[in-house]
Every structure is written in C-alpha cells, then in structure tokens.
Structure 1
Amino acid sequence: MKDHRADESALPLIGIYEISKILGGTLDLEKALHEVLNVLSAYLNMRHGAVVLKDEAGTPSLAAVTGMSLQLARSGALKYPLAAAGKVIATGIPMVAPDIRDEPLLAEMMADGDALEDESISFLCVPVKTTDKPFGALSVERAWTGAARYVFEHDLRFLTMVATLIGQTVSLHQKVADDRDTLMTDAARLQKRMEDVRPALPVRGLEDVVGSSEAMARVFAHVQQAAPTKATILLRGESGTGKELVARAVHILSSRAQKPFVKVNCAALSESVLESELFGHDKGAFTGAVAERKGRFELAHGGTLFLDEIGEISAAFQAKLLRVLQEGEFERVGGSRTIKVDVRLVAATNRDLESAVADGSFRADLYYRLNVVPIVLPPLRERSGDIPLLAMYFLKQFNEENGRDLVFSRNALEALQRCYFPGNVRELENCVYRTATMTRGEVIDEMDLSCRNDTCLSSTLWHKRNPQSPPPPARPAAPIPVPAGPLAPPPNAAGAADATGASERDQLIQAMERCGWVQAKAARLLGLTPRQVGYALKKHNIELRQM
C-alpha cells in the first residue's frame, strides 16, 4: 500500500527543486518570482503569496503577487500589509501570525473576507537577503481549520530556504544590470573618445584612415605634404596596413581629385594580361581581341593610377613600365600608335625592394623612378594604441550595414589591444565583423572574441612567418591600460636589453615559473590559449615541473 505520508514529506524537496529550476532558467525576474509563488501555491497549499523588494528609494514595494496582475495589485486592488513586510525587512526577523485577526498590522487584510466560516487565515513572512541586510520579504497566507492550532515550524523553515534562493537570484540580476550599465557607460565613453579624436584628423581625404598614434601622425603629415605635388609615391608596409586607403587619400588631396582614380593589383594578373590591362590593346591584337580596348593608363589620364603589389611584376614587364614612367607614352598591345598620357603614379609593395635590387630581381632604375617619395605604413603591432579606435570604427560600419547597435565592453577592447594581428588592419576588421556576427547580445565582451574561443589564427600565422622569434609586445594606449604584450617578459625581468634578447623558449619558461607551472595561468599571462601554451611546451621540449 502506498505511503501517503511519505509523498507529503517529499513535497518540500520537490518544491525546492522546481523553484531552483525557475530561478535559474530565465533572465525575466518578475516572471520568475511570479512562477515561484505559483509553485508555493500548487505544492504547499499556500495562497496569496507575495514578494516585496525595496525600490531605488529604499521603500518596500510589491515585486510579485499571485491571484492578480502586479499592476492591479500595486494600484490598490490587493489589500497587502506593506507595513508588516517592512517590519520584517527592517528587523530581519520572520513574522508568523497564526490568525490575522489577532495581529494589528494585518488588519487591512481582513477587508478581503475570503475565509470560510470555520477557517482561520495565517500570515507567514520571512526576510529576503544574502549576506547583507535584508532587502525584501517573502510572504504567504495559509488557511487552517479546527480547534487545534497549526504548527508553522516546517513552513517557516521551508520559506526561509526559498527566500534565500530568491535573494541570491535578485542579487545576481542586480549585479548583471550594474555590470551592463558599466559596460554601456564605458562603451559610450570610448565611442565619444573616438569621435573626439577623429575631428583632429584631416577632414578631407583621410576620413577612412583611422589612427591617433605617433606613427600614423607621421603618415598623415607625409601624405598631406606630398599629395599636392606631382611626385611619384611609393607606399611601403606589410599586407593589410591600408595602403589602398592612403593611395586614395593622396588622390583626393591632390589637384587631380576630380579626375579618375584607377587601381590595379599587379600580383593578381599574369604578365600578358597585365600588359593588356595597363596599356590596352587594338582590335585583332590576339585571339579574343574583337574590339579596341583602352588600358588603365588611358583611363587614368589626368588622374591617379594606383599600382598595388608593384614588387611582383616580372623583369620583362619592368622594362616596359619604366619607359612609360620616363617618357609618359606607350603603344597598345598589337598597335603602333604612340599614346601620351598625364598620370600621377602611386605604387605600393610589401616586399623588400632594396634586397630585390641587390639580388637582381628588380631593376634599380625602376626602383629609383618609383621611390621618389616613400611613405611607410606601420604594422598594427607598432601602433596598438589605435586598435580600440579601429575596432569601434569597424563595428560602427558593421552596425550600419546590418541594422544593429552593438558596442564593445572595455575588457573586449583591452583584449584586442593585446593582440599583435599579423594580418594588420585587414585582420582586425575581419575579427570585428566575425565577432559581431556571432554575438547575440548588445555588448561584445572579451569572451565573445575568437582568441577567447580558441579560433584565432594570429598566433599560428606569426609562428609560421617567424618560427624563431616571438611576437613583439604590444604597447598599451594611455586611455586603456593593459598588461604587456603576448610574450613580454615578467615585470621583474633584468632589463629591456635582456628581454628583447631572450628566446621564445626562455620567455615561455619564465612565464611558467612565474605561474607555478600552471598552464592556464601562463596562458592568461602570455595572452594565449592553454592549447597554444601546451603546443609551445611540446615544440620546445619543455617538461612540466611539479610544484
């Protein structure tokens, strides 16, 4: 035969289980509290439950009720004894009124008159708190009949446990809300800083070239100085540093701004196709040439021609290009008519042209013709202070393109600033767009970044390009103080000379020793993932030590 007493004794445990699931399953606090009161009513025969919480002014106010809407209850439809709840909150002592008729503080509840003739209504109220002073109260009513008084000890103990769960949940929600306000404030401040910095940059031509670092200030100065002239400009720098944007800025800031700006990627075309692309061809010059076609030099007449990846052209084509630059004239492929053009040339390369000239793969005379005004674009790792501005700029573009309103948290910007981005600005843009696409909330936090989800290829790319050297440490920007770069030595290192001379293996050992040979801690110190640290330990045959 089934033991009903056993079933009844299990009800409180089942109730606690259901309540914990409710409180941990939603971010809607009002809905969660309402469902908790419903559980109390369904499992424990408690009716007219209520949760009271202090508002911003410190006044007790209804936060959840059963039997009616919260709005209706707050309007006065529920005769709830806020004075009694306020006393429980102020003293932190539970209140038990076996019969509400005997308690003056509960007199207004008698007006409801929903008790039966032989039924008495009891009122139980316990404080809601965590480790601090109470900030709320949980109350229920319970009906009982008969001459014998009901024993409330078990109900009081159970309600205290429920109130503790509610207190922890309310505190967590408040902390989340406070953190979100802080993130939004920081994001707004950083966005304002970006807007304050941008007007200091040249208004015309360089709007899309973001940067406030000393290195970029030199670039802006060189562009403004050289753009109004007719001199050929050679843009130097690693891939992804923004050479095309600077070339366009040169054009816009020149007297040729109203004429065409034509660009060609020399590395993307074979020699024969590149010749036709730049010089054009006459009808019948080769199979498929069914009509006369103007080349990029003709299309850029009066304007600017941007030749990207100029270091990749063949030796044979270098001679043809040199003649155009010297004489300002050429013949189309398959043609005999000499065509004269007036073109301002801006070239770009990520190659070491001096070494190419030394080994004979690049003509010295062409090098001197191109290298009239060299402008070097710094890699992103040498201007890490610009990373927050660039990241917010790209995020603003993403928001405009996708109709979203995302912002970065301070932690996310600091984490980005610690990265060294082998792919430079292009890689940062890719990182921002990828992260923004996969972020579900309104704030991009540090844990949303690829480098915190072990899907970032920066470290892999760097080690493939520079297998014998660690990535250089990033220098933090003043407004956003961050730790030293990914593989920087500990602060108590012997000195800068020793740090820069240390091998990657030595720096890895230093980091492990400093962290007690705990890989996870060392990974955080180095700005890497635990998996990357584990790989590096294996790569350098470093045995783990037991501390």
Structure 2
Amino acid sequence: MALCLLSKGMYPHLHGLKLSALLAICQAIDQALNLESALDGVLCILSEKLSMQRATVTLHDPETGQLSINASYGLTHEEKQRGVYRLDEGVTGRIFRTKEPYYVPDITKEPLFLDKTGSRKIRRGLISFLGVPILLHGESIGVLNVDRLFEDEVAFEEDIDFLKIVATLIGQFISLNEKIMEREAVLKRENTSLKYQIAKNNKGPYIVGQSSAMVEVQRQIEKVSPTRATVLLLGESGVGKTLIARIIHELSDRKGHPFIKINCASIPENLLESELFGYEKGAFTGATGSRSGRFEEADCGTIFLDEIGEFPMILQAKLLRVLQEKELERLGSNRTRTIDVRILAATNRDLGELVERNEFRLDLYYRLNIFPILVPPLRERKEDITGLLNHFLQKMSEDYGRQMFFTPAALDALIKYDWPGNVREMQNLIERLVIMSDSEYITLEFLKSYLAPGQSPVQNGISHDAQKNSDEPPHCTSLKEVERNEVVAALERSGWIQYKAADTLGLSARQMGYRVKRYGLESMIAEGRARLRRMKDGE
C-alpha cells in the first residue's frame, strides 16, 4: 500500500516540478524493499529532478549518541564516513536539537557550517544549504540536508516547505521499517526455537540438561544464532563448547555452508598462519603451489576457533583485521581477499587476565567478546547428571548393542562425583564402562577404578555399609526408576523431610525439590508425614 496519495489540489503552493518529484518520491518509498534503498531513491530524485545536490539523511544512533550520515547522494564513500556529528555540533546538530529548519545563504560565510564531509572544498560559485529535521511523534530522529547550487525565482521558504514534506515521508517510512524489523526479529527467534526443537527430535545437535543454568545457555543460543554476531564461549574444558558452536551454526542462516573447526592450541605457531590464511607458491620452503586457508574454506559459513587464548600474539593483528574488515592476504601475497565468515571462539582461560599480562590484544578481546556465553561446569549443575548419564547410556547401547544399567550405589557415586573433565569425561567414562563390563549392571565396586584419582566415591561421602546395601542389581529396568527409588528411600529414612533426605544423597535442597517434582512425590511425602504423625499420636 502506498505511503501517501497525491492529487493536483493537495499542495497548491508547490509548482509542477516539485509535485512531480514528490510523486516520484512516494513511488520510490512504496516500492523499496529496505530502508537504505528507499533513502537512496529519495535523495537521487532530489538531485536529478530538483538540482538539490549532495543530499544527505543523517540519523541519530542511540548506541553512540551521535548523528551520522545514513544515506547520501553525490558523496563518495570516504566523504560519507566523515559525516559524523555530536548533537551540539554544526548546522546539523542545531537542526536536530531545535527541531527547526535552517537556511545558509552562503556556506562560506556561515561559522556553523563545518563541511565535515569535505565534499565542497573544490566547488566554485555560490552554494546555499538547507536542512530540515526528520521528526517522529514530535521528536527528532534525524536531519535531511541538501545544497542549492543556484539562485532562482523560487524562495528558499518554498524549498523548506517541500523538504519538510519529504522529511515527514522519510520519518514515516523509518518508523514502519523499525516495526517490520522488530516483527522480523520476533519471527527469527520463533523460527530458531522451532529449528532447535526439530533438531532435538531428529537427533541433531542439542543440549542435554534442564538445570536453570543450561536453560539460560539455551535461551542465549536461540537469541544469538540468527544474528551475525561473533560469539565467545567460555567455560572449563569438556563442558560442551564445541557442541554449542555447532548448534549456533545449525540454527543460523549459514546452515548448509561450511562449519570449520580449528584448535588453536594443537597447530604449531609457525604453521598456524598458513593454515588459517593460506599461502602462495614460493611463500616459504616447500610451498610448491598455492593453497587457500581455512578462513577462505569457511566463506559464507562459520569458523570455530577453539582455545583462542592460545592464539599467538604475532598473528592477533591479522585475526583482528578479518574480524573487523572481513579481509585477508595469503602468506606471500599482496592481493586482498574479501570473505564472508562468521567467527565463533572458545576458551577455558581468562582472556582479561591474559590482556593484563600483555599476552592478548585488548582490541581483539573486545571484538571477540561481543556476545559471551558462559557454560557452567557439571559440578555446578548436578541436576543434569542423571539425564546426561541416561543420554550416554542410550547412545552407547545403540553403538554397542548392549543394554546397561547402574546400581543405586553406583548412581549415587556418579551424582556426587565432581566430574573434573565435565561432559567429555562422562561420555568417555560411559563408553569404557560399556566396553569393559561383563554384566548388564554397573556396580560401584566396578566403577571405582575408572574414576579420576582423588575422586573415590567413598571419599565423596558414601559409606561402606551404604555400598554393601545398595550395590546389588536392582529389579527396575531404567536409570530413571533407579533414581526415583533412591529418592523415595532417602525420604523414608529421613522422616519424609526433604532437606534431610537431600543431605543423605549429597544434593542441595533445590536439586532435591526438582526430583520430588519430577517424580510426582508430593502426595507420597504428605502421606508419609501424616502416617508418622498418627504413629506419634498413638504413642
């Protein structure tokens, strides 16, 4: 639908040329697919139909608090980039602050006229300047400026009236564009969430864990995946940073394009540059041909730089350029290549501390740290342990064709275990147990020798009597049933008081509450307490 409808009688003070230009502007806005193309079309019409040259639309940037040229006609890229103003600077700043038009009859005699773009330095003859505010709901959002290159019989007041109409149309279109972008962002988030659920249901990459910490990680993943933002994954070794990087790629628009993984710690420093950026024939001894680097291979896709804290200082400036400019040169070449790559990075080190020790560039750290995601260690989310054990047992059962179960004592030991190697350690442990066990039940005694030194389940608080009483193969057939029976037994031993039962199992009160709710034990607890009260009253 057109943004405006014009007839010959609507603006009697506009002569035919300006009315024709206004009709063309409405059509350009109506047919534009995005804000940039609409503004370019409007400014082109002002220049070609009305000789209003070097037209610019300067908008307020809430992030920087400054005014910067968003669209222009008749300016070079460099001139446009120089058009940045404080809110109290120059003619543009005055128009924005006062919300009033401003006319400069001769730019050479106006001290407020700064010509920051530098586009008028080589011009000759009289140049006058007009500017009007772009208003939305009575507030300034930008400024529309043009040059008048000649004097004619048309008064500048008429030009100002005309430009105010154009600025109103631009303001309406900007408002509409913002609403469309907001709606598009909502749809993207909904689509990302849906794709994540589809991937989970179809055995694609997904996070196993329902703890509040991992639910928050999943929320952040769904928010950032549809964007182009660089993501920095933080957390201990083995928490699943590579899996999360893969999920972000799969949920982005880059799915279907390459996902390239690089471990910065595993490649020698003297080879890392050629590995990432490529090289030309003769760049070094043994370079008998040219080869593209991993950044070029990841073009249109995603590159995941694991262990970024180990990235050599000597190459960090080159990496920063790729991040900022999307440009690189192969080793031994002067040719600049442009790439379109999204960068995800991960580290288990404190990059801020490395910056303080001058082992990591501060500007690179800021550029990588645009969207950090902290993945908590497994010992801080013990409520996820049972689900992960079940997940890996099922996976290994499919891989090795064996159905395996934990005895209650073994399950208790694994819940209390600190998992220094996190999820990676758990996966490797389960695979070894499935391979080595001769029985379908994994007992605590069998489990002991496979845990990390210093992490004996006995040291973690399980008594020998408890081991003896609960290390028999259970009659139940699933890990979930084993855990439920253990929770019920602990509650019964503790007089149906949850926090006491939690202490005996080495769980927090919150973790215990989660299990009570998960297994629907609320009514059983109420009945147990009531039974104990009746027994006490009977005494």
Give the TM-score, by structure 2 length. Answer: 0.48
